[in-house]
Amino acid sequence: MAHYEAQDVASEDTPLLVPQSPADKHAALYHRFSPARKRVILALVSLAGIVPLLVLGSFIPAIPQIVADMRSKPSVISLTINLALFAMAFGNLVWAAYSGFYGRRPIYLYSLPTLCIGSIGVAASNSVVELLAWRVVQAVGCSSGMSVGAAVVGDLYALEERGAAMGIFFGAAFIGPAIAPFLGGSAVHFASWRALHLLFALLAVVMFVVMYCFLPETSHPGTRGADHKFGDEKWRWHWINPLRSLALLRAPNLILVTLVTTVVLMTDFVMSIPLAYTLGKRYNITNEALIGLLFLPVGIGNIIGAPLAGKLSDATVVRWRAARKGVWVPEDRLRASLFGSVLAPASTLACGLLTQFVPGRLGIVLNVLALFANGIGVDLALSPASAYYVDVLHARSAEVMSATNAMRSVLIAVMTTGVLPSLEKVGLVWTNAAATVIGWLGLLMLLITIRYGDRMRASVNIEWSTARDN
């Protein structure tokens, strides 16, 4: 770093004598912030990345109390989870589109107040219709955290260190699902589900103040749409079609990788959504806080798995690039997702079999291990895939993240509607077995993408990133 700073000072003192090559100028973009400042920014966006999964996951343990409060049915109230996923998908597209035009910082400063308003509305809801409506507002407000946060990581870190940074981002973000069920269960047990959402409103206010004070704009200079459209003029409102990023999904490599991450993540939802009605009922656990603790192993697995996956994916890129004599093939990063694509579905099958056939304390312990393995497996698959999106479309990182997140959220929302009905009709073992088979189909799709990714990218007219602009 000291050597770089010396070069930088020299280049400022004698700009005509030491001209920078395009490669040097691009490399300098990743040195605009000191390593310490990068870590602070990464911590801030990771904190924001916790919120979507925290808001989503904390709702699950509260379903029984909300059912009683609203005098409704579990299947009706569980629809709020699916609706939130749809709303997050749409919100992702909106925030990402405008983050490319106005920058990353303004998105956080507008989305967090939206989250605050939506959370207050949820807490004040007196009917199912009101609850559904305010859950939409709340979900849109918190949906910026993942796609824009990942784009910030792409702004800050170059290709060879991006996977590790992305792993830290996802590892921190997955603290959300780690603590969400326990937080939701504890709130329900000791206070109420309404108090929980008032807490989310307060969290949004605190985060807004922190972001306003400490988050700089990270977009690369001159890359924002507003820079080109307005120049030095005062920026004003500009309409952007939030659905335009979905056009990126015409690329077969992006579709296949998104399907892979969808079916792998689906194994988590198949295990977690009905947990109160599967493990809770099987092992006579009725305390909401204790049921919330059952979600903790998945979250701990997520927290451990994400940084591990990030470092593994960077090491994979470096190793295969060296083996290819310096030639970079983006799909090499996906090799780091292979093991996770096997482990996560396998753990879902194990959980179903253990719950069905192993009673008592041993059954609980073995299920905890299966849930922990699922958390690690999901991250080993998702983290390298997310870094891959940024690798291949670095200039449109927020858009590609939002498009793939939107597609994944919609598919999961549709698929999860069948979890509880499937449990009622065919039982736990067959439901989990079906999720496992579907999850392993993702492994096949991943292998196809690794093998034919270059042809897939060449088949569509998209300006893919190269080694020089990564």
Confidence of residue 288 (pLDDT cuts 50, 70, 90): low
Span 348-371, mean pLDDT?
Answer: 91
Confidence of residue 17 (pLDDT cuts 50, 70, 90): very low
C-alpha to C-alpha distance for 336 and 438, rounded to whole angstroms: 20
54-100, pLDDT tens digit by residue?
888 788 778 878 888 888 777 777 778 778 878 888 898 899 889 98
Confidence of residue 207 (pLDDT cuts 50, 70, 90): very high
Element holding 293 (H helix, E strand): helix 288-293
Report helix angle 104-123 to 79-102, nearest 10: 160
117: pLDDT strictly greater than 80:
yes
Span 164-168, mean pLDDT?
Answer: 84
Greatest Cα pair distance, the chain, in angstroms, is 77
C-alpha to C-alpha distance for 236 and 273, rounded to whole angstroms: 43
Span 434-451, mean pLDDT?
Answer: 95
Q: Name the burial class of residue 13, with classes exposed (0-12), middle (13-18) and buried (19+) by CB atoms within 10 angstroms of its CB.
A: exposed
305: pLDDT strictly greater than 60:
yes
CA-based torsion, 158, 162, 164, 170: positive or negative? positive
From 21-30, 172-181, 232-241, 303-312, the region with the lowest mean pLDDT? 21-30
Q: Name the burial class of residue 237, with classes exposed (0-12), middle (13-18) and buried (19+) by CB atoms within 10 angstroms of its CB.
A: exposed
What value does the mean pLDDT of the chain take?
Answer: 85
The b-or-e profile of 104-124 (16+ CB within 10 A means b, else e) is bbbbbeebbebbbebbbbbbe
Tell me, what's the pLDDT at 350?
95
103: pLDDT strictly greater than 60:
yes
> Do the Cβ atoms of 175 and 303 come closer than 8 Å?
yes
Span 425-450, mean pLDDT?
Answer: 94
Highest mean pLDDT among 5-19, 137-151, 434-448: 434-448
Cβ-based neighbour number of residue 411 at 10 Å: 18
Span 123-129, mean pLDDT?
Answer: 90
From 80-84, 291-295, 397-401, 410-414, the region with the lowest mean pLDDT? 291-295
12: pLDDT strictly greater than 70:
no
Span 2-18, mean pLDDT?
Answer: 40
Name the residue ranges covered by the structural domains of the chain: 35-215+243-469
Tokens representing 21? 């090559």
CATH number, domain 35-215+243-469: 1.20.1250.20
> Do the Cβ atoms of 34 and 131 come closer than 8 Å?
no
Tell me, what's the pLDDT at 258?
95
Percentage of the chain surpassing pLDDT 90?
41
Provide the Cα torsion 171, 175, 177, 178; round to 10°.
110
382-393, pLDDT tens digit by residue?
889 988 998 999
DSSP class of 418: T
40: pLDDT strictly greater than 90:
yes
13: pLDDT strictly greater than 50:
no
Q: Give the global pTM.
A: 0.76
Tell me, what's the pLDDT at 6?
39
Tell me, what's the pLDDT at 44?
93
349: pLDDT strictly greater than 80:
yes
7: pLDDT strictly greater than 60:
no
C-alpha atoms less than 13 angstroms from C-alpha of 217 in its C-beta half-sphere: 13
Confidence of residue 15 (pLDDT cuts 50, 70, 90): very low
Span 24-34, mean pLDDT?
Answer: 79
Confidence of residue 22 (pLDDT cuts 50, 70, 90): low
